[in-house]
């Protein structure tokens, strides 16, 4: 209905008509402005919500990492028998005791099937063979017999060994780089500065090794390391010690963030969080080395070369030594034989419950973009690194894309498998679903029709 025509039908004056039309137009303009402002606020809040979700994901991952560090199982703290007290089945422990204490022919057979761990020999243990030996030769004061005066002839020797230790000794490396000048072109040349763990840092690799071993293997607090160094009038700041350890940790974490960003196609991007730590340049070099090695493919044993390259770039190659592989009996293992040994097959899961979880996972992934599915797969894979209890039905795992919904270990594994098959068919998740995956896909397709 036209406003002017309606006012003319009511015999309104021209002034009233213009006033009413102007007022209505002002109201319309104001409503349009308010609508535009509301849309801008909605867009701004969507942006803030997305940023908050990304931050929550990062905090959740960090919290899970800290919980694993603080409360995670430390199997090296228990012997096999002690772990049985907390993790084993009482019935299995009872059967094991019966098998070890059985009598008669049956008991002897059970005893042979489960041999006891050999006990260390009682008495003084021999000193380790790998320790260097410093020989001290003690000759008699005279080569003639003290009884008759005849010449002495060597008929044997008596050898005793004593264990000694050299305490930590501080010393300084002086790197002298002569400067050479060319008279014709007036240029100056010198050798490059040796690589350091921290650019411009005063600590050599040996000091880092000493601090790392003392803190993380011997569990000495940093203030005690300060006191040990102070005895030689060496001042080691506690904050400096922490920063030296943290710098390597930040660089490795930043390299992992670069990997996650590319693996998830940008869905998980935590690289920006490491910019304030000035570790991204080294992290990018580490990641470039990994990409170059991954493009060539890893043959058995080549992963050690990649670790050596990483440690060389970080300046920590002296922090560790490689030891030859040994068998369960302690015998050395030939690397060529180990490379040719068949790998253990992946665990096969073909239960009806797993098939229904796969169908439910395909239902959940329907209609989602490739980027969102990649984010789900990556987040599930990260949770899998902490270990999944496939036998427990307790729903303890959450994926940000599904809100407050929780998944059991087997459900999360099925969701991860389905997501990876969507974005990169043929990807393995460490278990074999080949027996039930085609049936799950067929059931999912039938439910969609």
Residues 381 and 443 placed together within one structural domain of the fold? yes
**Domain edge (last residue) among 33, 50, 67:** 50
Residues 363 and 440 placed together within one structural domain of the fold? yes
**Predicted pLDDT of residue 330:** 52
Coil, helix or strand at residue 448? helix
φ/ψ of 167, rounded to 5, equals -60, 165
- From first to last of its 449 residues, what are the pLDDT tens digits of the chain? 465 666 566 665 666 667 777 787 888 888 888 888 888 888 888 888 888 888 888 888 888 878 777 776 554 444 555 444 444 444 444 444 444 444 444 444 444 444 555 665 666 788 888 888 999 988 888 888 888 888 888 888 888 888 888 888 889 989 898 998 988 888 888 888 877 666 677 777 788 778 878 887 888 888 888 888 888 888 887 776 677 677 777 888 888 888 888 877 777 788 888 888 778 888 888 888 888 888 887 676 777 888 888 877 776 666 666 777 665 455 555 655 555 555 556 788 888 888 889 999 999 998 888 888 888 888 888 887 777 888 888 888 889 888 888 899 889 999 999 998 988 888 777 788 888 998 888 888 887 77
Domain that holds residue 441: 347-448
Does residue 148 lie within any of the structural domains?
Answer: no
402-416 burial, b for 16+ CB within 10 Å, e for fewer? eeeeebbbbbbbbbb
Does residue 428 lie within any of the structural domains?
Answer: yes
Residues 214 and 287 placed together within one structural domain of the fold? yes
**Predicted pLDDT of residue 432:** 87
CA nearest 407: which of 360, 350, 374, 352?
360
**Predicted pLDDT of residue 418:** 92
| Distance in angstroms (rounded) separating the CA atoms of residues 229 and 235 | 7
Residues 422 and 386 placed together within one structural domain of the fold? yes
Does residue 40 lie within any of the structural domains?
Answer: yes
Residues 300 and 359 placed together within one structural domain of the fold? no
Domain count, the chain: 3
Residues 212 and 304 placed together within one structural domain of the fold? yes
Residues 351 and 426 placed together within one structural domain of the fold? yes
Residues 268 and 362 placed together within one structural domain of the fold? no
Does residue 376 lie within any of the structural domains?
Answer: yes
57's tokens: 């994901």
Residues 364 and 290 placed together within one structural domain of the fold? no
Residues 311 and 387 placed together within one structural domain of the fold? no
Residues 210 and 314 placed together within one structural domain of the fold? yes
Q: What predicted TM-score, i.e. pTM, was given to this entire model?
A: 0.42
**Predicted pLDDT of residue 128:** 86
| Distance in angstroms (rounded) separating the CA atoms of residues 444 and 360 | 8
Q: Name the residue with tokens 């008279």.
A: 183
Does residue 296 lie within any of the structural domains?
Answer: yes
Residues 308 and 360 placed together within one structural domain of the fold? no
CB distance 264 to 375 below 8 Å: yes
Does residue 328 lie within any of the structural domains?
Answer: no
Residues listed for the chain = 449
Does residue 248 lie within any of the structural domains?
Answer: yes
Does residue 34 lie within any of the structural domains?
Answer: yes
């Amino acid at each position: 209905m036209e406003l002017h025509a309606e006012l003319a039908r009511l015999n309104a004056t021209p002034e009233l008509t213009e006033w009413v039309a102007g007022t209505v137009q002002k109201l319309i303009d104001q409503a349009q402005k308010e609508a535009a402002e509301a849309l801008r606020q909605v867009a701004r809040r969507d942006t803030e919500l997305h940023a908050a979700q990304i931050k929550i994901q990062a905090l959740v991952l960090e919290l899970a990492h800290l919980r694993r560090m603080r409360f995670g199982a430390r199997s090296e703290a228990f012997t096999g028998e002690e772990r049985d007290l907390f993790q084993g089945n009482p019935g299995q422990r009872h059967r094991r005791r019966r098998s070890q204490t059985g009598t008669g022919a049956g008991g002897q057979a059970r005893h042979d099937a489960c041999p006891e761990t050999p006990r260390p020999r009682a008495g003084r243990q021999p000193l380790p063979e790998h320790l260097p030996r410093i020989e001290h030769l003690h000759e008699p004061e005279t080569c003639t017999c003290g009884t008759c005066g005849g010449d002495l002839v060597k008929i044997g020797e008596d050898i005793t060994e004593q264990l000694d230790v050299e305490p930590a000794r501080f010393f300084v490396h002086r790197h002298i780089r002569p400067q050479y000048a060319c008279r014709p072109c007036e240029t100056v040349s010198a050798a490059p500065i040796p690589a350091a763990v921290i650019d411009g840092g005063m600590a050599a690799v040996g000091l880092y090794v000493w601090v790392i071993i003392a803190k993380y293997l011997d569990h000495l607090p940093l203030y005690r390391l300060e006191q040990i160094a102070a005895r030689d009038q060496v001042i080691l700041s506690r904050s400096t010690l922490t920063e030296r350890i943290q710098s390597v940790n930040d660089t490795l974490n930043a390299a992992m963030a670069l990997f996650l960003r590319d693996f998830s196609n940008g869905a998980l991007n935590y690289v920006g969080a490491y910019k304030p730590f000035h570790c991204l340049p080294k992290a990018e070099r580490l990641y470039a080395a990994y990409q170059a090695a991954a493009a060539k493919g890893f043959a058995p044993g080549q992963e050690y070369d990649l670790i050596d390259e990483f440690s060389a770039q970080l300046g920590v190659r002296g922090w560790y030594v490689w030891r030859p592989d040994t068998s369960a009996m302690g015998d050395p293992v030939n690397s060529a034989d180990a490379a040719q040994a068949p790998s253990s097959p992946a665990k096969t899961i073909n239960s009806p419950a797993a098939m229904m979880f796969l169908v439910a996972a395909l239902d959940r992934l329907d209609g989602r973009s490739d980027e969102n599915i990649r984010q789900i797969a990556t987040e599930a894979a990260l949770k899998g690194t902490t270990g999944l209890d496939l036998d427990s039905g307790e729903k303890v795992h959450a994926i940000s894309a599904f809100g407050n919904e929780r998944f059991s270990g087997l459900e999360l594994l099925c969701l991860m498998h389905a997501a990876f098959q969507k974005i990169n068919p043929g990807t393995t998740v460490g278990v074999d679903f080949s027996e039930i995956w085609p049936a799950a896909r067929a059931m999912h397709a039938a439910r969609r029709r």
